[in-house]
Amino acid sequence: MRESFDLKGRSAVITGGSRGLGRAMALGLAAQGCNIAVVSRKLDACEAVAREVEALGVSALPYACHVGRWDELEPMAEAVWRHFGAIDVLINNAGSSPLYDSLDQVTERNFDSVIGVNLKGPFRLTALIGHWMHTGRGGSVINISSTGALTPPPYALPYAAAKAALNALTIGFAAAYSPNVRVNAIVPGQFGTDVGDHWADPADREHPGYTKAGYRIGRPEEIVGLALYLASDASSFTNGATIQVDGGPVRAVRLRDKDMAPATS
């Protein structure tokens, strides 16, 4: 079974790979032998994670790209394909959800930006790279959705709508490119990344995996196991699935002294 999770000789593109869940998945896949293209808007941030990836004994390619800009996507994909010789895994992780005071204050520019990063970009990259995979040796596409797509919050409604549409793309692309390309979605709940700094109850930096008020949330490394499963041959019969990683119905448990050790390990 261990061989099913082996990613040696394979290559992955991870958008939004310079921080948070993207960085955690980049390092997690690299630890299993996967070469990583770290894609984000800021090249210096991509380069920093690329150095961490290379320290694990695999190849890395940092690449600055705005996922919401259609004309930047094909040049990025082609550069990664040329560099590694193929793309075996695409993780559409980049996301954006600008704050707004009320729904009537959402501007067209902000709305289009959210749709661009969370939906348009993943559509174009999956259509492009997924097609190359399908006509080649196959591969795996992993969309990073959100539980907001299932229970849309008023304070992030355009984001939730985009992620709900991403879930629909997951099923449609799975049908389009099967059987040799698998397309699945991870549906995270709250995770302790810098994205959560604007929450009413933000993540506690001293105790990762909890909010300031002591409620259990996810640690970035806790998404890696599922990402590794979906990227590898272990998920050979998993296609078109949307899988929640949100701690389940008991996730909001108060932090107690006895919980501190495992929370910070």
Residue pLDDT, tens place only, 85-140 = 999 999 999 999 888 999 999 999 999 999 999 999 999 999 999 999 999 999 99
* Domain that includes residue 215, residue range: 2-264
Residue pLDDT, tens place only, 224-240 = 999 999 999 999 999 99
CB 85 within 8 A of CB 59: no
What is the Cα 129 distance to its own chain's centre? 16
CB 47 within 8 A of CB 19: no
Give the closest residue to 174 by CA, choosing from 149, 145, 135, 143.
143
User: What residues are annotated to the active site?
Assistant: 145, 159, 163
pLDDT score recorded for residue 11: 98
Q: Is the pLDDT of residue 251 over 90?
A: no
As for how many domains the chain has, the answer is 1
Q: Is the pLDDT of residue 25 over 60?
A: yes
Indicate which CATH number applies to the domain containing 17: 3.40.50.720
Going from the C-alpha of 119 to that of each of 91, 143, 165, 166, 224, the distances in angstroms are: 13, 10, 7, 6, 22
Backbone angles phi, psi at 15, to 5 degrees: -80, 150
| Confidence grade of residue 260 (pLDDT, cut at 50, 70, 90) | very low
| Pairing mode of beta strands 35-40, 11-15 | parallel
Locate tokens 């959402």: which residue?
Answer: 106
Give, as one character, the DSSP assignment of residue 190. Answer: -
| Confidence grade of residue 215 (pLDDT, cut at 50, 70, 90) | confident
C-alpha to C-alpha distance for 81 and 86, rounded to whole angstroms: 5
Q: What is the dihedral of CA 185, 188, 194, 198, to 10 degrees?
A: 120
